[in-house]
Amino acid sequence: MREQISVNKAIKRGHLIVNVPVFIALFGCPAIALYLSKENLIPGWGIGIAFLLGFVLAWIIWSYMITKWRIWAFEIVRNVHELKKRAIQEKLIWNDGNIFEKTEIRNNEDKIKLKNLEKKFENEDEYKEDYSLPAKMEIFYSKLYNYFELGVSILIIGIGIYFIFKGETKNYILGTIMIAIGLYSTLKESRKALNNKPQIIIDSKGIKTKNVDFKNWSSINNEEVIKEGFGKSAKSYLTYFYDEDEYEKIEIDSLNVTHSELENIIRTYRKRYNKNRR
């Protein structure tokens, strides 16, 4: 039996063996064409062709390598449900049925392996309780994050003042806009920095957030930590349904907990709740 690895390691390897070659092809072809054009070895319009060639080559590489990664990862990782969710969130794979998912290159052997691996999804993921977590977890605004955002806001105000005192008419408008944005951001981050109340409280009985009063685990379902957006603009949220059809979604990027830490927290306290019911 093959040694199992964590979801995090599988995702990291996916980025390495899939996305790195894709980016090399996507940007390497135009870069080479630009160099050759400067050396007068190819005409200028060859750069445009190189962009198209790089895109096609990158897509072919992704279509082939993602299938190989799928088979390897779903064979060696125990928690395939989490792996699939994370892979979709991190833009390694597409949702089932997506038109781009249908462009994956799979030979007959690959199709048979993937069909057999579908059986693993019939079992629920397994998680271990983290005994290092206290009886109750209180999550606050991150002071480090707040102070960084405050610094950026003050810098924006300073740049706005500089533009105004530079004296040109167009810079008065730009300077005023930047000062307004900086002041608004400073006020917002100052409130967070002075807020010492927990934004999320989780224990073996349930969850309470700044938006939603305490809810027992028995009334909560589909709790998870999700990521939305692309690249540096991506944001993480704690989401869950409660009281059958109510929904909570709270951003966690400004809190003193990471995406993976919060996932571990909600799994542990859910597990403790289930254990206490027995």
41-77, pLDDT tens digit by residue?
888 888 899 999 999 999 999 999 999 999 999 999 9
Binning pLDDT at 50, 70 and 90, where does residue 4 land? confident
**Taking the domains of the chain in order of start, what are their residue ranges?**
7-122, 136-140+197-277, 143-194
Q: How confident is the model at residue 1 (pLDDT cuts 50, 70, 90)?
A: very low
DSSP letter for each residue of the chain: -PPPB-HHHHHHHHIIIIIHHHHHHHHHHHHHHHHHHHTTSS-THHHHHHHHHHHHHHHHHHHHHHHHHHHHHHHHBS-HHHHHHHHHHTTSSPPTT-TTGGG----HHHHHHHHHHGGGGGSPP-----TTS-SEEEE-B-HHHHHHHHHHHHHHHHHHHHHHHH--HHHHHHHHHHHHHHHHHHHHHHHHHH--S-SEEEESSEEEESSS--EEGGGEEEEEEEEESSGGG-EEEEEEEETTTEEEEEE-TTBSS-HHHHHHHHHHHHHHHHHHH-
Predicted pLDDT of residue 3? 60
pLDDT, tens digit (0-9, with 9 covering 90-100), for 109-144:
999 999 999 999 998 888 888 999 999 999 999 999
